Amino acid sequence: MNSYYFDDYKITELSYFEYKNLVKSFLTDDLQVLNKIFEKLYKDNVFTEKKPTAFDKLKCLLHIRSLILGEDVDLIYNDKNYKLNTQHIIENTHIEERDLTSENLAFKNFDTFFISDLTNELYKNLKSINLNGKKIDFSNFTLNQKEEILDNIPDLNFSQIVTDCGNYLTKSTIQVLDTKLSVYNGDVLYFLKNIFNTSLENLYDFEYILIKQLNLNTADFKNYSFTELKIFYNKIVKEFNAQKESSSSTGINLNQQ
143-201 pLDDT, tens per residue?
A: 898 888 888 877 778 888 888 888 888 889 999 988 999 999 999 999 999 999 999 99
Q: Is the pLDDT of residue 254 over 90?
A: no
Residues 115 and 35: their CA atoms lie apart, in Å, by 10
* 82-86: average pLDDT: 91
What's the per-residue H, E or C state across the chain? CCEEEECCEEEECCCHHHHHHHHHHCCCCCHHHHHHHHHHHHHHHEECCCCCCHHHHHHHHHHHHHHHHCCEEEEEECCEEEEEEHHHHHHCEECCCCCEEECCEEECCCCCCECCCHHHHHHHHEEEEEECCEEEECCCCCHHHHHHHHHCCCCCCHHHHHHHHHHHHCCCEEEECCEEEECCECHHHHHHHHHHCCCHHHHHHHHHHHHHHHCCCHHHHHHCCHHHHHHHHHHHHHHHHHHHHHHHCCCCCCCCC
Q: Is the pLDDT of residue 251 over 60?
A: no
* 88-100: average pLDDT: 89
Phi, psi of 171 (to 5 degrees): -80, -15
Question: Which residue, 237, 179, 167, is CA-closest to 205?
Answer: 237
**126 close to 107: Cβ distance less than 8 angstroms:** yes
Question: Which residue, 13, 18, 33, is CA-closest to 192?
Answer: 33
pLDDT interval class at 253 (50, 70, 90): low
Q: Which residues make Cβ contacts (< 8 Å) with residue 97, sequence separation at least 6? A: 53, 54, 55, 109
37-81 pLDDT, tens per residue?
A: 999 999 999 999 888 889 999 999 999 999 999 999 998 888 888
Q: Which residue has the higher pLDDT, 141 or 41?
A: 41
Q: Which residues make Cβ contacts (< 8 Å) with residue 174, sequence separation at least 6? A: 58, 89, 92, 93, 94, 180, 181, 183, 187, 188, 191
* 204-219: average pLDDT: 92
Q: Which residue has the higher pLDDT, 83 or 104?
A: 83
pLDDT interval class at 136 (50, 70, 90): confident
Strand order in the sheet with 9-12: 3-6, 9-12, 46-47
If phi > 0 it is left, if psi is from -120 to 50 it is alpha, else beta; for residue 71 that is alpha
Q: What is the pLDDT of residue 232?
A: 92
Q: What is the pLDDT of residue 155?
A: 73
pLDDT interval class at 3 (50, 70, 90): confident
Q: Is the pLDDT of residue 1 over 80?
A: no
Residues 145 and 137: their CA atoms lie apart, in Å, by 13
Q: Is the pLDDT of residue 249 over 80?
A: no
Q: Which of 21-25, 104-108, 213-217 has the lowest mean pLDDT?
A: 104-108
224-248 pLDDT, tens per residue?
A: 999 999 999 999 989 888 887 776 6
